Structure 1
Amino acid sequence: MDRVNAIRLFVRLVECGSFSAVGREEGIGQPAVSKQIGALERHLGAQLVLRTSRRVVITEAGQTFYESARQLVDDFDALESSVGDRQQSPRGLVRVNTAPAHGRLCITPLLPDFFRQYPDVTVELSVSERHVDMIGDGVDLAVRHGRLVDSSLTARKLSETDFVLVASPAYLAARGMPARLADLDQHACIVFAKGRERYPWALKVGRESVSYVPHGSLLTGDAEHIRAAVLSGLGIAQAPYWLLAEEIRNGQVQVLLPALQPERVPIHLVYPTGRRVPMRVRVFIEYLVEAFGSSGV
């Protein structure tokens, strides 16, 4: 048994949750993956996974082993990368978590050039509006919007974004242009909400920060739907500039009441503090920091 390879397969089994998924990644059959995991279990004298007809369950011993095994795999990959021709050619998987709309509009368009520079690195994008448990979910990096409060994470600033009031020219032609904060009461607003809780818009009147609770016929907790609603002429929304940057530049969307615009919101790339960062993750961090700095979004 190749113990390093078996441990690598086990780590991916925990993260993928499926023998067949690991087999597809490695280009081998599901029985071959199961056979290597079984050999690893016999070598360790402990059951790492419970196999059922529907899913794989990681045992308590397996979860304990995973924490050290993942670090071992990272260390081994770093050792390989530091020797010979691989010194300038990092390889392996980088797991990145981001919000769905930001990933689609701001991260994915940057990947072609990254893969040209680092053809042996694979990026796994997971998308979620919630903040994931980075260690528990096996995530290397996460994109976080807003002020950071988690001191257990190391952060690299990617950019800052304006939060702007926006509407389509078609909507404004039909309903008129608001000239002051009070005018918003007469307009249809596209409301960001979770459940039935409407999130207020953060605005600035002079030097004072104010909260405005919007009212409208459409409530959604998804940025993609806010984007689609603005482009469909359904009303006024407050949104991060990057969500509609291209449409603002080409005139499909208009920014309203710029004097009410609040302070810019930072966007960070975060990763767990105190853990060694593999070379493949380091090059992806540096690439994103440079790419976002160049784009200005």
Structure 2
Amino acid sequence: MDRVNAIRLFARLVERGSFSAVAREEGVGQPAVSKQIGALERHLGAQLVLRTSRQVVITEAGQAFYEQARQLVDDFDALESSVGDRQHSPRGMVRVNTAPAHGRLCITPLLPEFFRRYPEVAIELSVSERQVDLVGEGIDLAIRHGRLVDSSLTARPLAETDFVLAASPAYLAAHGAPQQLADLDAHRCVVFAKGRERYPWQLKRAPGSDETVSYVPHGKLFTGDAEHVRAAVLCGLGIAQAPHWLLADEIRTGAVQVLMPGLQPARVPIHAVYPAGRRVPMRVRVLIDYLVEALA
């Protein structure tokens, strides 16, 4: 038994929650993963996993072992990387999390050039509007928008983005264009919301002013997905406040018009974040460096 590999597989099992998920990531059959975990349990003389027909349950001994195993795997990867950095090109899987729309519009189009430069690096791109637990879910790198609040993460600035008020020419032809903040009350808005909570728009009270106000939009469409905000604007359903990158192509071609640019707030930062206190593997470092260059 390769004990280091078995420990690595067990750590991935805790983070992924199923033998089949680990097997897919490793490119092996599920029985091979189960066999390795079983051999590790026999070597340790303790049951780490309870196997049922529906789920994998980590035992108390398994949870205690995982906390040490995760650090061991990280240390071993760092050791390999410290030597490999000098001898080889980066290789291996980088697990990246980002918001769905940003991933599709801004990250995926950058990957062909990245893979050309680093042919032995693979990327698992997961998307979510929520802020995932990087350590708990085994994520190497996340791309986050706005002010950062998690002090347990290391952050690297990638870019800044403007927010815009935008609508289609068809909507503006039918309803007119707002000229000042108070005019928005007479318009339909595309509302970004989660559950019953509407996200307010941050706007300057007047052009050239440093004072910002929170405007709670109202309308007939509520959505928690940025792609649907984009689609709604293009369909002429109303005015939306959105990051510039979400509508950049349409703004450039005139399919969407920017409204009252003087009322927009300060730019919003975009960061790459990763767990603090760990040596960053070479494969992750080159991806971060590439994103900094490409998004600049």
Name the structure 2 match of 1:32: 32
Render the CA deviation track for 1:45-78: whole Å, top value 9, x for unaligned.
Answer: 2211111101112223222322332333333334
Q: Distance in 2 between matches of 1:124 and 1:277?
A: 17
Once residues 27 and 237 of structure 1 are traced to their aligned partners in structure 2, the CA distance between those partners, rounded to angstroms, is 44
Matched with 2:18 is 18
Partner amino acid, structure 1, of 2:47: Q
The DSSP-based 3-state class of the residue aligned with 2:178 is coil
Kindly tell me: are residues 192 and 53 of structure 1, through their superposed partners in 2, closer, same or farther at Cα, counting changes over 3 Å?
Answer: same
Q: Which runs of 4+ in 1 moved over 6 A?
A: none
Letter in 2 for 1:119: P
SS of 2:96's equivalent in the other structure is: strand
- Alignment partner of 1:278 out of 278, 281, 288: 281
Give the superposed CA RMSD: 1.8
Report how far residue 233 of structure 1 moved: 0.8
Is the Cα contact below 8 Å between 1:75 and 1:278 reproduced in 2? Answer: no
- Cα pair 1:92 1:280 within 8 Å, conserved: yes
The corresponding residue for 2:244 is 241
Distance verdict in 2 for CA 1:77–1:119, change over 3 Å:
farther
**Would you say how many aligned residue pairs link Structure 1 and Structure 2?**
293
1:292 aligns with 2:295: yes
CA contact (8 A) 1:80 1:86 kept: no
- In structure 1, give the amino acid aligned to 2:27: G
Distance (whole Å) between structure 2 residues aligned to residue 71 and residue 209 of structure 1:
45
8 Å CA contact retained: 1:81, 1:91: no
User: What TM-score do the two structures reach when normalised by structure 1?
Assistant: 0.92
Q: SS of the counterpart of 1:101?
A: helix
Q: Normalising by structure 2, what TM-score?
A: 0.93
Task: Measure the CA separation in 1 of the matches of 2:84 and 2:185.
Answer: 66
The 1:200–1:82 alpha-carbon spacing in structure 2 relative to 1, beyond 3 Å, is closer
AA matched with 1:68: Q
Question: Any gaps of 5 or more consecutive residues in structure 2?
Answer: none
Q: What's the counterpart of residue 122 of structure 2? A: 122
CA distance in structure 1 between the partners assigned to 2:39 and 2:27 by the alignment: 19
Aligned equivalents of 2:202 and 2:242: distance in 1?
A: 11
CA contact (8 A) 1:14 1:58 kept: yes
Post-superposition offset of 1:201: 0.9
Q: 1:154 to 1:113 in 2, by over 3 A?
A: same
CA separation in 2, counterparts of 1:236 and 1:45? 63
From the superposition, tell whether residues 254 and 84 of structure 1 become closer, same or farther in structure 2 (CA, over 3 Å).
Answer: closer
Q: Structure 1's 27 and 291: CA in aligned 2 closer, same or farther, altered over 3 A?
A: same
What percent identity do the matched residue pairs reach? 82
The answer on whether the counterparts of 1:166 and 1:230 sit within 8 Å (CA) in structure 2 is yes
Unaligned runs of at least 5 residues, structure 1:
none
Distance in 2 of aligned mates of 1:162 and 1:85: 37
| 1:181, distance to aligned residue in structure 2 (A) | 1.4
Deviations along 1:251-291, whole A, 9 cap, x unmatched?
A: 11110001111111111111122122111111111111111
